[in-house]
Amino acid sequence: AKNIIKAKKLGRPKQIFSLDRRQKLLHPGKSLYRVLLDSVTLSDESVKFQIIHEKNKILLQVEIYEIEGNIFRLKIDEASPLRPRYKVPDVLIKEPTTQRLFISHREAGILVLSSVNEDYKLQITANPFQVELQSKGETPYVAKKKTKKNPNQYKSHEKQEDLGLWQEKFGSFLDIKAHGPTSVGVDFSLHGYDHVYGIPQRTETLLLKNTSDGDAYRLYNLDIFGHKIHDKIGIYGSVPLLLAHKPSRTSGIFWLNSSETLVDISTKAVAEHTPSRSAAEIAKQRAVPLTDVRWMSESGIIDVFLLMGPTAFDIFKQFAQLTGTQALPPLFSLGYHQCRWNYEDEQDVKAVDAGFDAHDIPYDVIWLDIEHTDGKRYFTWDKQKFQNPRKMQEHLKKKKRKLVVIVDPHIKVDPSYTLYAQAKEKGYFVKDRNGKDFEGICWPGSSCYLDFTNPEVRKWYADQFAFKTYKASTNILFVWNDMNEPSVFKEAELTMQKDAVHYNNWEHREVHNLYGFYQQMATAEGLIRRSSGKERPFVLARSFFAGSQKYGAVWTGDNTAEWSYLQISIPMLLTINMTGISFCGADVGGFIGDPEPELLVRWYQAGAYQPFFRGHSNMESKRREPWLFGEKNTQLIRRAIRERYVLLPYLYTLFYRAHAAAEPVMRALWIEFPGEVETFDVENEYMLGNALLVHPVTEKEAKTVTVLFPGSEEIWYDFRKFKRMEDAGTVKIPVTLENIPVFQRGGTVIPLKTTAGKSTEWMIDISYELHVALDKEACAIGELYVDDGHSFQYLHKKQFLYRKFTFHKNVLSSRSEDSYSTAFLCVLGRFDFYLFFNQSFPPVAGTVRAKSCRESQVVFTYDTKTSALTLENLALSVDADWEICIS
C-alpha cells in the first residue's frame, strides 16, 4: 500500500480533456440552429418544436416545461437518433409536476410563451435559435443552442483523428469512441449577475472565477491524492448546479448530465437593456454586469433546469424538489469520529477507545480502514488482527459507541472469495469494450468493479449487509464507501476507461459521475434493509453527484496537513452545502502529513462547528490521537470537542431543517444577508444555521482575525461570554489559542446541552439550556427538534418534539411547532433550563407558568457588565408549553 501511495504521489496526472474538442473551439456568437416554427405543438405538459442545423440539416427535438415552484426545464435530443442517447435516471426523486404554457404572442420569427400566472414569459427567437426567459420584465436567462454533435454524422476519419472524434490516446491509454463524437453544449447569459457559485468539487474559492483566459471548471470525479489548491480540475464529486446572485435575486442552473462536463464562465459589463428614444438617453445608459456560462458535456442529452428563486432559500427548495433533501442522520453521526489508516487490531481499537475516556474526551465512532479486512476482501475480517470482531463491537456498544468500516467498490479477483465468485457468476461486473469483465488495479491488486448502475446489482449488494451474510457485523456497524469515483490504478487519470460497458450497454463515459452515487445508494439501502426498515443508516462516500444528500455524508477527500488546506476547506464545504449536501466535512488535521500542534488545535476548533466532524490520517502519518500532543494541546482539543457536544441540540435541529425544508446547515454569509454586497465573496467565515457566525482561525500564530459583522441593523453577541459586540462592520478581534471567534445573532434562541457526555447516547438525560440573544426590538425566536436519534419513527409515527421558543414583550414561551408531533416521555423525561438574556435593564422579578404546575417565582442572577440574565433549575418539561415572564 505504501508503494502504491508513493506511485500515486509521483504519478499525479495532468488534466486530460477527452471531451469533444470542437466544443471548446467554438466561440460565442451566432448559433447555427434555426427553429422550425411550423413544428410547434402545445400540450398540458410542455411545448415542443424542432430546430435544424443550417449546415448539416440535422433535426433536434426541443421540449420546454414549466414546473411547479418557479422552475423551467429545457430538453434537447436528436429527433431521429440512430442510437438513443443516455438520459440520467434515478437522480430526480420523481417526474416533476408541470404547468401549462400558453402562446401569448406570435410574429415573424418570434414566439412568446406565458406561464399560467403570467409571472414569466419565454421568448423563442427562431433564427438563430435562442430562448429568453423573462420574469416580470427582468431577463435573468438567455439560452443559446451552440452545438450538438450527431454520433453518426461522420463516416470518414480524414482530418478528424486529430480532433479525437473516434479514438483518442493519452500516453499509452487508448479510448475507443465506438459511437463517434457525442458532445453537447449550451450557452447561458445571466443578465445583471457577476457573482456565481457552486459546481463542486474542487479546491477553489467560494466565488467562481472568470475562465475566459484559462481552463474551464471541470466536473469529472477523480481520485487525486494531495490535490492542489486553486485548481479548476474536478476531484471526488460533481454537482452540476450553478447559483448566480445579485442583491435583488438569486437564480440557479441545474445541468442534469453525468458525463464529463466543462463549465466556462465569462463576466463583463454591458449597456443596460432598456427602451430609449434618443441618442442622448442611450449614451446615459449605465453599464450592468453580464455573465455568460457555457455548459459542455461529452455525451448524453441537454436536460437543464432553470431555478428562478427569487431567493437563495427558494433555490435550495427548488433543487430539493427535484433531487431530494438531506437525509436526517442518526444523532451519533453528528458527534466526533476517530479514524486512521489503519487501526491495527482489536487491541488497538480498545486502547484508543479507552484513551478517550482516560482523557475525558467525548467521541462516538471509531473507524477501520482497508487493513481490517482479509487481504482487502470487503465484508471480511483479518483473521489474525480481528479474531473476534463481534466481541469488539459488543465492547463498543456497552460504551455507547459505534464502529464504521470501509467497503470499497472494487472486488478482489479471487475465485475462492464468495463475493467475487457470486458477482462473476451473475455477470454483475462492469465489462470492457470486448465484453469481458473489466479488470483494473486497486488496493487488493487485480480487481473487478461492481456495476452499480444495474438495479439488480444494487439489490444484491444491499443484501450483503444483512447480519447473516456479513459475518460478525452488528447493528452498531456502519459504512464508509471510499475509492468510488471509481479509482483504478494504472489507468488514465486513475479511473475507469471511458469505453468500459455498463448495464443496458451504456459506456462508462455516460455514467462516470454517477458511479459513487449509486454505490452510496445501494449501501444506504442495505443498512436500512438489515434493520427491516427501522433504523437510519450512516454512509460516508467520497464520490457524489446531485441527489447524494438522500443517502448520507461526503467529505473533501485526501487533504494535506498544511494551513492552506484548513483555509480552503471552508469555501469547499460552503459550496457543497449550497448544492444540497449539508452533511459534509474535511479531515481534521489533514489526511496527508503531520500537522504541527497549533494547526491540529485550530483544525479541531474549526471542525467542531462544521457538519461532519472526523479526525483522520494517512498510514504514513504519525499517530495523532488527541492526547498525543502534550497536556496543553490535549486540553484545547478536549475543549473544542466538548463544545461540539454541547452544541448538538442546535446542530441536530439544523439537520432537521435541512431534511424538512432544504435549508443548508453551513451557509455562506451572502445567503443570510443577500443584500449586503460586502458578503458576496467572504469565505473565511460563515453562518452555522441562521444564528451563529463562525470565524475559524486559519493562520499560524494569529493574534487577531478580521471579522465582518454583516447587517447594519443586526446585533451580535460573543457566544461564550454573552457580551454584546459594540462595533459593527469589519472588526479586528483579538484571538488566543484557547478557541475561535463565534458570535450569536441578535433575535435568535439557541438550544444547547448544559454539559458534554462520553458520547451522544450518554447525553440523553443531560439537561438543556437556552441562549436567548435579543435584537433591537428586544425579541428573539428559535427552535428545538428532538426525536429518538436513530429510528424512522419520526417519519412513520410522528414521534418527535418540535418546539418553538419566542421572546416577546419580556415573555419567553415554549410552544409546539408541529401539531402532529408525538411526545415520548420515556426517552425525554424532565429537564432543567438555563436561560441567558441580554437586557439593557436589570429585571426585578420573574415568574414561570407551565401546564401541570402552578405559577411560581424564578430564581435568577443578573450580570450588570454583560446585561446577561441567568435563570437556573427551572425543572420545566421539554414537551410542555410554558411561559417565563420577566418584570
What residues are annotated to the active site?
A: 482, 485, 558
Strands 98-99 and 71-78: unpaired
Residue 689's CB is within 10 A of a number of other CB atoms, namely 23
Residue 664's CB is within 10 A of a number of other CB atoms, namely 26
Query: Helices 597-607 and 631-661 sit at what angle, rounded to 10 degrees?
Result: 30
Provide the edge-to-edge strand list for the sheet that holds 801-808: 853-857, 846-850, 882-886, 811-816, 801-808, 780-786, 748-753, 768-773, 835-838, 868-871, 860-863
**Locus of grid cell 426517552:** 827
Contacts of 853 (CB under 8 A, 6+ apart): none
CA 870 distance to own-chain centroid: 38
Contacts of 176 (CB under 8 A, 6+ apart): 166, 167, 433, 499
The answer to whether residues 448 and 480 touch, using CB atoms and an 8 Å cutoff, is no
The answer to whether residues 261 and 218 touch, using CB atoms and an 8 Å cutoff, is yes
Residue 857's CB is within 10 A of a number of other CB atoms, namely 9
Instruction: Please give the Cα distance from 281 to 443 (Å, whole number).
Output: 69
Q: Containing H/E element for 708?
A: strand 704-709
β-strand partners of 102: 114
Question: First vs last Cα of the chain: how many Å apart?
Answer: 68
Number of helices followed by number of strands (H, E) in the chain: 16, 50
Mapped onto helix, strand or coil, the DSSP state of residue 671 is: helix
β-strand partners of 110: 107, 125
**Locus of grid cell 437518433:** 81
The answer to whether residues 805 and 784 touch, using CB atoms and an 8 Å cutoff, is yes
Overall size of the chain counted in residues: 887
Instruction: Please give the Cα distance from 873 to 618 (Å, whole number).
Output: 47
Which grid coordinates are listed for 751? 438550544
Query: Helices 455-463 and 418-426 sit at what angle, rounded to 10 degrees?
Result: 160
Mapped onto helix, strand or coil, the DSSP state of residue 791 is: strand
Picking from 151, 181, 196, 410, the residue whose alpha carbon sits closest to that of residue 294 is: 196
Residue 464's CB is within 10 A of a number of other CB atoms, namely 20
Residue 100's CB is within 10 A of a number of other CB atoms, namely 14
Instruction: Please give the Cα distance from 521 to 394 (Å, whole number).
Output: 27
Which grid coordinates are listed for 316? 435550495
Picking from 887, 879, 886, 767, the residue whose alpha carbon sits closest to that of residue 834 is: 767
Strands 110-114 and 138-148: unpaired
**Locus of grid cell 408531533:** 821
Q: What is the DSSP string of 222-253?
A: ---TTPPSS--S--S----EEEEEETTEEEEE
Instruction: Please give the Cα distance from 112 to 133 (Å, whole number).
Output: 10
Which grid coordinates are listed for 644? 461540539
